[in-house]
Amino acid sequence: MDDFRPKIAADGLKFIIPLAAVTWLFAVFGCCMFSLISGVLTGFTIFFFRDPNPNIPEGQNLVLSPAHGKVVSIKTSVEPDFLQKEMQCISIFLSIFDCHVTRNPYPGAIKSTKYKPGKFHLAFSDHASDENERFSIMLETENKQNIVISLIAGFVARRIVSLVKMDDKLSLAQRIGLIRFGSRVDLYLPKDVNLLVSLGDKVIGGQSIIGEFTAK
């Protein structure tokens, strides 16, 4: 059934419908220039809120990208919201031209969520992870491993929309949220995950492979 759902994020309809209505009204009253401008804005908004179904790769123990964008940081750092221990942190920057629907990187159950108000530094800056507004989700896998996904608002993006709640059991690549108009996602993984991405890689949410849990 998922293949037949509209490929537009539901949260975007509150922007798209009014813009389309204004475009139509301008056209009806012969305001061609305003109709053109409004039409372009409507088209961009539809493009921004697109929600394509990913081609989920086959394989066991794969960790997928939670977002479309560019890998701007790979480092070992202390996860600040839940575990307070060193983990591998992969940061993905989403420009206004990327799809902003975020997806679950690995099957598991939500054990905790946390909203942290903050600043709105540019999402690709070093300060964004620590100081910007964010919504974080901690997952527990079947093997009792923990993964943390932090949705971070940027200079332009000032609204984080969560599509999940506590105790939800998430499937691979399930939609978990949306960040409007330019943002960042930090993915915290255990140290025994074998990373398969490099700095500067372009990734696709729910499709690109970030890493793989080592078999035990």
Q: Smallest Cα–Cα separation from 178: which of 61, 100, 126, 66?
A: 100
Given pLDDT bands bounded at 50, 70 and 90, which one contains residue 39? very high
The pLDDT value recorded for residue 33 is 93
pLDDT tens per residue across span 14-35? 888 999 999 999 898 888 899 9
Say if residue 27 is in the same domain as residue 85: no
Strand ranges across the sheet with 169-170: 169-170, 108-116, 134-140, 146-153, 183-189, 86-94, 69-78, 202-203
C-alpha to C-alpha distance for 77 and 110, rounded to whole angstroms: 22
The pLDDT value recorded for residue 2 is 46
Given pLDDT bands bounded at 50, 70 and 90, which one contains residue 82? very high
Say if residue 68 is in the same domain as residue 150: yes
* Mean pLDDT, residues 118-127 taken together: 60
C-alpha to C-alpha distance for 37 and 40, rounded to whole angstroms: 5
Question: Which helix or strand (DSSP H or E) is residue 44 part of?
Answer: helix 32-48
* The pair of three-digit structure tokens given for residue 56, joined into one six-digit string: 């989920």
Say if residue 42 is in the same domain as residue 103: no
Question: Which helix or strand (DSSP H or E) is residue 140 part of?
Answer: strand 134-140
pLDDT tens per residue across span 53-63? 999 999 889 99
What value does the mean pLDDT of the chain take?
Answer: 88
> In CATH, what number is assigned to the domain containing residue 192?
2.70.70
Structural Rg of the chain based on CA atoms: 18
The residue segments making up the domain with residue 19 are 2-48
Say if residue 200 is in the same domain as residue 142: yes
**How many structural domains comprise the chain?**
2
List active site positions.
183
* The pair of three-digit structure tokens given for residue 32, joined into one six-digit string: 């061609």
The answer as to whether 57 is a domain residue is no
Say if residue 104 is in the same domain as residue 126: yes
The model's pTM is 0.86
* Mean pLDDT, residues 150-159 taken together: 72
